[in-house]
Amino acid sequence: MDTRTRGPSDDGGIEGEELRSFLERVRAALSLEDLESVRVALLGRRGLLSEKLRALGALPPSERAARGERLNGFRREFESALADRRRALEESASEGRLRAAAVDVTLPGRGRRPGSVHPLSRAIDDILRIFQARGFVPVDGPEIEDEEHNFTALNIPPEHPARALHDTFYVPGGRLLRTHTSPVQIRSLEDEGPPLRVLAVGRVYRRDADVTHMPMFHQVEGLWVDEGVSFAVLKGLLTDALQEFFARELPVRFRPSYFPFTEPSAEVDVGCVFCDGKGCRVCKGSGWLEVLGSGLVHPALYRRLGIDPARWSGLAFGLGVERLTMLRDRVSDIRYFYDNDLRFLRSPRGESYVCD
Ligand code: PHE
């Protein structure tokens, strides 16, 4: 049946043309909203077709049946065109969404950078390498210590003023956060006994915080006990190790000092790396920077552990990793190590944070 020439009414096809224009509008609709407004214009409560269907009731029965059939026939045609268009629009909408969300897995990644080793880890690796090459074996000890290992066995009795100097964090149960790595000396002597050559790297804790102090920092402890370990051995070992760490022939000096667990004791200085010994703000005009504590193991430590001090002698040293790294890599504030600022972490030696 050619509906363009035979419309749903008897008015010579004009009504048919008008209704058919709705089919065109359906096919031309560009969105679901467009489509809905075409539907409402035809089939809504006041829609053109709805009104025509309502008007059927007023017709004489003889005309009503034929006209009703034509109008309903058109209505079915319209509804099926509507459904087709809706499906097509929905499909392309979801395709558009999928296209927008698509990931092109063939594109190169953006801003990929290799990670880098933390400046402190780099320094610890260097220190371990330097001392392992000289026969030291890495060992560990607990960060939560007892007073016995942190103080008493190190010849620091309860009333000793050095205890107060350590600004200790105490934890419940009479224990404490170790204030230095020296308790590992005791644990190694207890566990292995001489001869031994051990190196302990780890966290230590003191109540302290400013540009050069953190309540937690890292120390390296070295202990070498054997027959005939002398002060000359200590001097040679530490001089070489420091020059290797700083990668320079720095002057190194041993200055008499006091630690309860070593006798004799020495603090070790290197020529100031900032002014080459001429005197500056960092070395407070002295030309020297203190970098570690050391000495020969005090006989009182051996006696307590039943080790014969006439046969065995040893050297011990302790150094602060943050301090040593700040001096070598010219880091002006200890807190940079813990801020996780990528500008600092990415600079190979903290250059962007150079202090002068
Ligand atoms: N434990 C000492 C400190 O924390 C350093 C030290 C270690 C000194 C070993 C002598 C021997 O300051």
**Residues 251-264: tens digit of each pLDDT:** 999 999 999 999 99
pLDDT of residue 121: 94
pLDDT, mean of each 10-residue run, the chain (356 residues): 46 79 92 92 92 90 89 93 92 88 85 83 96 98 96 90 79 93 98 96 92 92 97 98 96 96 97 93 93 97 96 97 93 89 76 42
Residue 260: CB within 6 Å of ligand 1? no
Report the b/e string of 25-37 with b at 16+ CB within 10 A: bbeebeeeeebee
φ and ψ at residue 314, rounded to 5 degrees: -155, 165
For ligand 1, is residue 316 a contact (CB within 6 Å)? yes
Rounded to whole angstroms, how far apart are CA atoms 3 and 8?
A: 8
pLDDT (0 to 100) of residue 1: 44
12: left (phi over 0), alpha (psi -120 to 50) or beta: left
Mapped onto helix, strand or coil, the DSSP state of residue 304 is helix
Distance (Å) from CA 182 to ligand 1 centroid: 6
Could you tell me how far CA 89 lies from the centroid of its own chain?
47
Q: Provide the pLDDT for residue 266.
A: 98
To the nearest 10°, report the CA torsion of 230, 234, 240, 244.
150
Q: Ligand 1 centroid to 220 CA: how many Å?
A: 9
- Length reported for the chain: 356
Contact (Cβ atoms closer than 8 angstroms) between residue 267 and residue 277 = no
Ligand 1 and 26: CB distance under 6 A: no
Closest-CA residue, ligand 1 atom 2, reads: 318
Strands of 175-177's sheet in order across = 144-146, 175-177, 170-171
Q: With contact defined as beta carbons under 8 Å apart, do 202 and 143 qualify?
A: yes
* 14-28 and 61-101 helices, crossing angle to 10°: 10
For residue 273, give the DSSP letter: T
C-alpha 250/C-alpha 316 separation (Å) is: 22
Give the pLDDT confidence score for residue 356 in this predicted structure. 37
Residue-level pLDDT at 353? 45
Atom 10 in ligand 1: residue holding the nearest Cα: 294
The single residue listed with the structure tokens 């370990």 is 229
Phi and psi angles of residue 267, each rounded to the nearest 5 degrees, phi first:
-95, 145
User: Could you identify the atom of ligand 1 that is nearest to the CA of residue 181?
Assistant: 1
Nearest Cα residue to 137 out of 84, 197, 77: 197
Structure tokens at 283: 């070395």
| pLDDT given for residue 355 in this prediction | 40
Task: Give me the pLDDT at residue 165, please.
Answer: 66
Ligand 1 centre from 97 Cα, in Å?
67
Comparing CA positions, the residue from 236, 178, 212, 235 lying closest to residue 289 is: 212
Other beta carbons less than 10 A from residue 245's beta carbon: 21
Task: Report pLDDT for 190.
Answer: 97
Ligand 1 atom 9 nearest Cα: 317
Looking at the structure, give the CATH architecture of the domain made up of residues 119-353: 2-Layer Sandwich (3.30)
The torsion angles phi and psi of 176, rounded to 5 degrees, stand at: -150, 165
Instruction: Determine how many CB atoms are found less than 10 A away from the CB of residue 20.
Output: 18
How close is the Cα of 237 to the center of ligand 1, in Å? 16
